[in-house]
Structure 1
Amino acid sequence: MCFKKKKETKEKKKRARPFKRRFRLVMMDDGNFKEVWSFRLTLGNIVYSLSIIILVFILFGGILMTFTPLKHWIPDYPDAKIRQGIIDNSIKVDSLAQLIDIQDQYIVNLKQILVGDIKTETPSLKSLSENRSEIIDSLNQREFDSIIREKVEFDRQTSVSVLQTPVNQSNISTLQFFPPVKGVVSSTFNSKEQHFGIDIVTKPSSPVCATLSGTVIYKGWTLEGGNVVQIQHTNNVISVYKHNAVILKDQGDYVLVGEPIGVVGNTGEYSTGPHLHFEIWHNGVPVNPADYVSFN
């Protein structure tokens, strides 16, 4: 065993001998061959020194490429501004695609209205009552279920008849408008101040109902109005409902008079509290809703 260990020790020393072999680097004067400078080194020192030098160059190069404009010379280097530009462009393209879809649906709805290819059948009281019951059942899991149930049932019992007779398109005074909400008018119609509707304060989470039967031509979000719904009715009438907390209908849906389309909320920059901003437009001109609807 001792002989075997001595043999292994000799072999290790033999393998390490080239790295311990010493060399002397000498600088001499060519005229008189006098030694000017000398340096002793081994193969191990040479390898160690070269490794340190290479590591220093790698670190120095990495610092230059990271914190200096030299990094832009690297092919396919992902510049931060370029990455942010790609992200911004992707968001804009996605928003434009959604806007185009909405505009296409809006144009289709307008074409149907202009050519008269819209649903004009008048619902019966029985069908309207059944429709409201289905809506109430679908909302019983929400926090505001009891409020909506009480409101819709009260409106069903006290509302005017949904049977409407054809009227002249130039006159909407004979139309029977359904109050979208019941409450107190906090701000009146004033076209001079560009307030083209009225604000009705009511209980939070109260249902917002369609004032007439028609087709939803817009459902979306605006900075000033929050959640907004626009409905196209016959006789070239458009109703607008702003600041909704929730919108219950989608663009293109046909809604019945008195049917819940949203929930009273406080969305949008122009909202100072839970209320509904309600507008009526006839032949492209805003009219005072208070002249046609009673909100008490």
Structure 2
Amino acid sequence: MNLQEKIKSWAEKKYLFVIRREEDFSVISSLSITKLKVGLIMILFFMVCFAISLVLSKSLLASWFDPTFQESENTKKIYALSETIDSLMLEVEAKDRYVDNIQRIISGEALGDTSSAGVPVPRRMDSLEKKNLKPDLFVAGEATQKIVEEFESMAPDERSFERISVSSFTDNYFFPPIKGVVTGGFKPSENHFGLDIVSEENEPVKSVADGTVIISHWTLETGYVIGIQHSNELISVYKHNSVLLKSEGEPVSGGEVISVIGNTGEQTTGQHLHFELWYKGNPLNPQEFITFD
């Protein structure tokens, strides 16, 4: 008998397992099995045990069997603490800027970064935007400088204003900055050089025409203010906003959202938009050019 026949004979050799009663040795059950089946059953049993052990070592018993478990947990905790510290540092810096701005306002100095008070940080213009800018919109003429100085000081005497006729802007189309009810009219004699427009809460404010932002900051009297220089030395001003969405130097299109209506500044008595139009240093009545309802 060669080796192959011996192995075959060994694998196919059968064993009989019999279960008998103790009293009379009668057969209850019997099982016939070969050595090959016994080997396969043992291999399957060890594979199942190994799979169960592997799953347990990565889940319920990971802290006992996985040598990298504790290191991974510590890494997660360190990362979470790092994120918390970064958030706290940003909050502290924002509060420091806010306190610094308050101190500057009290002392009468120029404002610093107001992003911590609710104004988004101005984004940088990319090269394509810079190419599309109209050069003449960035030229601050004498009239423009006069307007900028106007918002930082007392308004000039009404007698110094020249009368501007409606025909000066017959070729211009203006978008309404906001839809609402006009509650305060244009009264230069009472130093009210614009309109007060009441609208819904969080209503977006839009630019009346194409132009460039020349003012975008916060003042004690008028809250968040944004001013836009348009062509022909025309300037539009939007006061008492809750949020400013554009920064100085950014180009805007007619009808583009630039801020959100609000109730900021000491001179406001409720949520509304104070809107002004200036032409060559002179105030205009916006209702002669724009419909607000």
Shorter-chain TM-score tier: 0.3 to 0.5
| TM-score normalized by the length of structure 1 | 0.46
